[in-house]
Amino acid sequence: MSSLRPTLPGSAYTDPSTFDSERERIFEANWFCAVASTDIPKAGTFRTVTVGRESVLITRSRTGEARAFLNVCRHRGAMLCTEPAGEVRRTFRCPYHAWSYDLDGNLAGAPHLPQMPDVNRAELGLHTVHLREWVGYVWVCLAEDPPSFEDSVMASVAARLGDLSAVDRYGIDGLALGQRITYDVAANWKLVIENFMECYHCATIHPELTGVLPEFAQGWAAQVGVGHGALMGDKVDGFTVDGSEGLGRLPGIDDEQDRRYFAATVLPQVFLNLVPDHVIVHRMFPMAPDRTVVECDWLVEPSVVGAGTDISRSVELFDRVNRQDFDACERCQHGMSSRSYRSGGVLVPTEHHIESFHTWVRTQLGEFVSVPSGEEGAA
Amino acid sequence: MSSLRPTLPGSAYTDPSTFDSERERIFEANWFCAVASTDIPKAGTFRTVTVGRESVLITRSRTGEARAFLNVCRHRGAMLCTEPAGEVRRTFRCPYHAWSYDLDGNLAGAPHLPQMPDVNRAELGLHTVHLREWVGYVWVCLAEDPPSFEDSVMASVAARLGDLSAVDRYGIDGLALGQRITYDVAANWKLVIENFMECYHCATIHPELTGVLPEFAQGWAAQVGVGHGALMGDKVDGFTVDGSEGLGRLPGIDDEQDRRYFAATVLPQVFLNLVPDHVIVHRMFPMAPDRTVVECDWLVEPSVVGAGTDISRSVELFDRVNRQDFDACERCQHGMSSRSYRSGGVLVPTEHHIESFHTWVRTQLGEFVSVPSGEEGAA
Amino acid sequence: MSSLRPTLPGSAYTDPSTFDSERERIFEANWFCAVASTDIPKAGTFRTVTVGRESVLITRSRTGEARAFLNVCRHRGAMLCTEPAGEVRRTFRCPYHAWSYDLDGNLAGAPHLPQMPDVNRAELGLHTVHLREWVGYVWVCLAEDPPSFEDSVMASVAARLGDLSAVDRYGIDGLALGQRITYDVAANWKLVIENFMECYHCATIHPELTGVLPEFAQGWAAQVGVGHGALMGDKVDGFTVDGSEGLGRLPGIDDEQDRRYFAATVLPQVFLNLVPDHVIVHRMFPMAPDRTVVECDWLVEPSVVGAGTDISRSVELFDRVNRQDFDACERCQHGMSSRSYRSGGVLVPTEHHIESFHTWVRTQLGEFVSVPSGEEGAA
């Protein structure tokens, strides 16, 4: 295989109709990591999030199960909840005509309803969205017939880390939210994915990260090699902005996981970052061809939050990495509409695996794609 | 007929090409209530308003008749008047090359014109727009061959109130402008119309209005039943925000009209509200699929304005109603693009008459519509 | 020929697809005056400018020659320089993966490049843009096979002024930048061109200019008649806002050029204004169908800048003219979408030569145009 492999053409990152197709065929068709389970701690607490072209209302039922619905009243189409987060007691009551829905989405009542004996309430519940809770997050799927969660989300994490027990040992669903930072990135979501998939840029833009993980300066992706985790430098004491000591080691991880950074991409919109003392989760929300909102969570042991321990040096490391990456993505977005990038750019050997992401995108969009020979497709 | 009837699909409220068709086939084809007659009190005073896709210049001639023109110079297309209101002495003079037009729209002069003997000035006047003054307002129609004013505007008011003498008794064209409030609503114009046509929402969002008009809490539309006017509550002294005494009864109305609220919709963009001591007129200006400017006038007896009487409690009642309604419309606009509303929502019995508005819209747009059986079509 | 000739239809000034065609077939196909030569005074200084749909990077090589490139890295499409101006030492280094290009656009280096022996660096240089320096400006052409600079740019100046020696005598490439003002005009670029091409509006909107050049009040265009320059009024001492004395006469001009104002339009986007003591150059950057950025330079003898001479009265004259003109253009833009201008407006005899500009535009866009009989086409 040649040293240089082709990328997608520039129009894939700017064309509004491509973005519309992606929202329909990728973000509304696959499992989408919407909110943290702790964002809806008890019955009636809710969040609203944008998934593809839809506003989705996510709440917890009286029996403690997470539920997701299209955030639209069945009567005249009013948006039920316009706030990003909140809490109701027993029902979501539409503020327009007072149609109300219980926490399972059933139509609980409406003015005049008793005078309409022919109306079948069961047909007037909120539109339900498929939902799974896993590793402390609520994943939703807008497809009528979702792909297997095990064969898609879980399989891609297992493929990256070797097996699922590797991630289980971090006990993510028992961690607490140490900090959340939201980034509004003026770039196509695929640029954000591609950036995360390669480390050829690390030596150029990530001085703090390569300081802590010296092998990243070589340019090989964190995700190259099944089960590989980048080793911290000899004189590094922790995964912090200055390499100083971090928090206590998570209790469940084994010695091979200690002092290492593992990363996994769950297409289409999650990055999972595992380090000995915390876990970082990125969720991406594509808003426009040239705009992606990224919500990044730093998860730590509950005792760390309880004790009010200072986690700022831990947070600052990846916050800097994020800003450095997103600046680069925005710089690329500017070039995507140039005739110079009309047929795309090139991937060097340390970036070749990005080609499998491109194949995945094209396949999702229903384009005929001949998989490049010699590629195994390990996203 | 079933208790639930269908609405328009969500795309009718969001699609830019539908909105373009509506501007052309509805707002530029029908009579449009543009300004109050008192907005152009004397010769040479003018207003500019947006009607469909056009800026229309409305003025009064030296003989006192209202005149309307497309607000564009015939020479090189400069907009003649960029201000919303103003006054000229004898001519509208284009500020670019000084072509000037008299108050009847005729080309009055232009530099070098005397040296162009072959030019027929009669062909270079401003494009005239059809115009009628009625109930104290200037109505314009951009169609070349307008529909009969009597059979459309006047007939729809008569159909609502029983006969035109009912509205004549309010003497609207003799009233003065007590207050004008302009609302910029982030919703499609049809949501604003539909909201005004039903009172199923009144109990939920209009506490002050149902306080004054208790029957509105039942949910039946103000416009249901020819000639019906909602009666004020027993302990209500006036049509004010707190039910306290309002202004003096208008001299011309009869006893049956006293203590009642009458409302009429004149499609596509006027609401007429008649109460014993004042009249409220809403004019809607659709600006985009998701934006409608509403100008609301509170009209009172000239003596009220002359005496400086405090009308704030009268104004505050419907100002609150307006804000409550427009909030609801904006909330609906958010839901119109959801797949949950792809084939629309439902109308309960107290809203069934909205279906005739939908039929009217579809007919205007030239869509083939079979009128639902059992509907009389009384907008 | 009739006294009135037709203009372009209104849609030519508002339609996004027409604007796209113009960017491709006019602004990316012809010579485009991008920056002043003095904007890139030495090797490694650079400017970035928008030409049609592209960001173009303009710099000076180590041998002193100006160079232009598409401002996009060949690797992953990052924009190389996001600043409007700056300076590099030896190379443009992409801030994403550190690919670097020398001042001639060749790929100078990239991480891992030595390990990719099959890669042909010559194929990975920046995309070169054709370039000429003339009259103190850098002109670029994005066409693969540009039109002859002599037969287009130089010929149009010669046709206007009689011969090129007339412009050479002003020694423009030896002048210094006295002042630069940038205007953001909410109007289509063609309205700006048309405005500059006629003086029928001068009596109406340019009191200061007609004060200095009384013949402009007659309405005949500065550009009517080969080699004609408008004469200053008898009591006028200089080309200043109040007719007071200006700067010293430029040394090279001859007596016939003294006390006269000469103007030339170089399609599609340059106005050249020659007066005895300075030169004014307008460059237009079309940004959207209804937006044009105009950069205007006042060029004076270097000794004027060196001595810190006050040039404000000289600058103020044309700054006022610019603001008056651009206000008029913006007023026209409002009228372009009216049905009143659907088939355009009319040109009076003093504007007839604008018709040849319209023919030029249509020809560039590949529309079949029959040249109006009796027109010579002297833009």
From chain A, the residues in CB contact with C116 under 8 A are 3-4, 348-349
Among B338, B342, B351, which would you mutate to test the A interface (most chain A Cβ atoms within 10 Å of its Cβ)?
B338
Indicate the Cα dihedral angle A44, A50, A53, A55, nearest 10°: 20
CB contact under 8 A, B77 and C350: no
Tell me the pLDDT tens digit for each residue of B49-101. Answer: 999 999 999 999 999 999 999 999 999 999 999 999 999 999 999 999 999 99
**Rounded to whole angstroms, how far apart are CA atoms A176 and A173?**
8
Give the N- to C-terminal CA distance of chain C in Å, as an integer.
19
Q: Which one of C194, C219, C340 has the shortest CB-CB distance to B70?
A: C340
From chain B, the residues in CB contact with A117 under 8 A are 3
**Rounded to whole angstroms, how far apart are CA atoms C181 and C175?**
17
Measured CA distances, B136 to B37, B66, B104, C144, C226 (Å): 5, 12, 21, 65, 60
Beta-carbon contacts below 8 Å between A and B: 91
* Residue pointed to by tokens 């831990």: A314
* A349: contact with C, CB 8 A cutoff: yes
- Count CB neighbours of C225 within 10 A: 11
Q: Which two tokens stand for residue C217?
A: 């009040």
**Rounded to whole angstroms, how far apart are CA atoms A56 and A42?**
18
Taking CB atoms within 8 Å and a gap of at least 24, the contacts of B320-325 are B320/B206, B320/B208, B320/B209, B320/B241, B321/B206, B321/B208, B321/B209, B322/B181, B322/B183, B322/B282, B322/B294, B322/B296, B323/B183, B324/B205, B324/B206, B325/B192, B325/B195, B325/B196, B325/B201, B325/B205
* Residue pointed to by tokens 């639930």: B4
pLDDT value for A180? 98
* B111: contact with C, CB 8 A cutoff: yes
CB contact under 8 A, C341 and B55: no
According to CATH, the topology of domain C31-146 is Rieske Iron-sulfur Protein (2.102.10)
Say which amino acid occupies C218. Answer: Q
Q: Which residue of C has its CA nearest to B24?
A: C339
Our CA-based measurement puts residue A161 at a distance from the nearest CA of chain C, in whole angstroms, of 27
Beta-carbon contacts below 8 Å between B and C: 90
pLDDT value for B369? 54
* A344: contact with C, CB 8 A cutoff: yes
- Helical (H) or strand (E) element with C117: none
CB contact under 8 A, A118 and B2: yes
Tell me the pLDDT tens digit for each residue of B22-44. Answer: 999 999 999 999 999 999 999 99
Residue B9: exposure state from Cβ atoms within 10 A (0-12, 13-18, ≥19): middle
pLDDT value for C169? 96
Q: Strands of A45-51's sheet, edge to edge?
A: A32-36, A137-141, A128-134, A66-70, A54-60, A45-51, A85-87
pLDDT, greater one: B148 or B374? B148
CB contact under 8 A, B219 and A118: no
- Count CB neighbours of B306 within 10 A: 9
Contact A40, A138 (CB under 8 A): yes
Can you tell me the mean pLDDT for B334-356? 96
**Rounded to whole angstroms, how far apart are CA atoms C271 and C283?**
7
pLDDT value for C378? 36
* A201: contact with C, CB 8 A cutoff: yes
**Rounded to whole angstroms, how far apart are CA atoms A165 and A122?**
42
DSSP letter string over A26-38? IITTS-EEEEEGG
Peptide bond into B147 cis (omega under 30): no
Q: Does domain B1-27+148-371 have CATH number 3.90.380.10?
A: yes
* B346: contact with A, CB 8 A cutoff: yes
Indicate the Cα dihedral angle B286, B288, B289, B292, nearest 10°: -40
From chain B, the residues in CB contact with A78 under 8 A are 328, 331-332, 334-335
Give the N- to C-terminal CA distance of chain A in Å, as an integer.
19
Tell me the pLDDT tens digit for each residue of B185-218. Answer: 999 999 999 999 999 999 999 999 999 999 999 9
**Rounded to whole angstroms, how far apart are CA atoms C139 and A297?**
51
CB contact under 8 A, B350 and A95: no
Classified as helix, coil or strand, A126 is coil
Does the pLDDT value for residue C371 go beyond 60?
no
**Rounded to whole angstroms, how far apart are CA atoms B92 and B110?**
12
β-strand partners of B185: B292
Can you tell me the mean pLDDT for B298-305? 97
Measured CA distances, A356 to A250, A286, A347, A375, B335 (Å): 33, 20, 12, 7, 37
β-strand partners of B283: B270, B295
pLDDT band at residue C214 under the 50/70/90 scheme? very high
Q: Which residue of A has its CA nearest to C83?
A: A331
Our CA-based measurement puts residue B199 at a distance from the nearest CA of chain A, in whole angstroms, of 9
Domain A1-30+163-367 has what CATH class?
Answer: alpha beta
Domain C1-29+162-379 has what CATH class?
Answer: alpha beta
Cβ contacts of B155 within 8 Å, gap of 6 or more: none
Q: Which two tokens stand for residue B225?
A: 């039943």
The ipTM assigned to this model is 0.93
Can you tell me the mean pLDDT for C256-264? 94
pLDDT value for B374? 43
Q: Which two tokens stand for residue C88?
A: 């590099």
**Rounded to whole angstroms, how far apart are CA atoms B254 and B169?**
8
Going by their DSSP bridges, the two strands C45-51 and C54-60 should be labelled as antiparallel
From chain A, the residues in CB contact with C52 under 8 A are none
- Count CB neighbours of B328 within 10 A: 24
pLDDT value for B367? 86
**Rounded to whole angstroms, how far apart are CA atoms A159 and C370?**
67
Query: Residue C55: which of C297, C285, C364, C292 has the closest Cα?
Result: C285
Could you tell me the mean pLDDT of each successive run of 10 residues in chain A, 379 residues long?
93 98 98 98 98 98 98 98 97 98 98 94 97 98 98 95 93 97 98 96 97 92 75 96 96 93 96 97 98 98 96 98 98 98 96 95 83 42
CB contact under 8 A, B341 and A119: no
Peptide bond into C286 cis (omega under 30): no
* A14: contact with C, CB 8 A cutoff: no
pLDDT value for A1? 67
Tell me the pLDDT tens digit for each residue of C105-158. Answer: 999 999 999 999 999 999 999 999 999 999 999 999 999 999 999 999 999 999
pLDDT value for C370? 54
**Rounded to whole angstroms, how far apart are CA atoms C59 and C54?**
16
From chain C, the residues in CB contact with B124 under 8 A are 346
Query: Residue B272: which of B146, B158, B140 has the closest Cα?
Result: B158
Q: Which two tokens stand for residue B14?
A: 């969001």
pLDDT value for C377? 37
pLDDT band at residue C227 under the 50/70/90 scheme? confident
The conformation of residue B122, written as its DSSP 8-state character, comes to G
Does the pLDDT value for residue C46 go beyond 90?
yes
From chain A, the residues in CB contact with C95 under 8 A are 204-205, 328, 331
Q: Which two tokens stand for residue A245?
A: 């000591």
CB contact under 8 A, B75 and C205: no
Tell me the pLDDT tens digit for each residue of B166-180. Answer: 899 999 999 999 999
For chain B, the structural domain boundaries read 1-27+148-371, 31-146
* A124: contact with B, CB 8 A cutoff: yes
* C16: contact with A, CB 8 A cutoff: no
Query: Residue C219: which of B38, A323, A378, B116 has the closest Cα?
Result: B116
Does the pLDDT value for residue C376 go beyond 90?
no
**Rounded to whole angstroms, how far apart are CA atoms B129 and B98?**
23
Contact B316, B240 (CB under 8 A): yes
* B7: contact with A, CB 8 A cutoff: yes
Q: Is B8 left (phi over 0), alpha (psi -120 to 50) or beta?
A: beta
pLDDT value for C222? 62
Q: Which chains touch A (3 or more CB pairs under 8 A)?
A: B, C
From chain A, the residues in CB contact with C53 under 8 A are 337-339
Taking CB atoms within 8 Å and a gap of at least 24, the contacts of C364-368 are C364/C22, C364/C25, C364/C26, C364/C29, C364/C30, C365/C18, C365/C21, C365/C22, C365/C25, C365/C26, C366/C25
Cβ contacts of A63 within 8 Å, gap of 6 or more: none
DSSP letter string over A313-338? HHHHHHHHHHHHHHHHHHHHHHHHTS
Say which amino acid occupies B192. Answer: V
CB contact under 8 A, B77 and C336: yes
Q: Which one of B54, B97, B117 has the shortest CB-CB distance to C201?
A: B97
Our CA-based measurement puts residue B98 at a distance from the nearest CA of chain A, in whole angstroms, of 44
According to CATH, the topology of domain A40-146 is Rieske Iron-sulfur Protein (2.102.10)
* B9: contact with A, CB 8 A cutoff: no
Q: Which one of B200, B339, B347 has the shortest CB-CB distance to A54?
A: B339
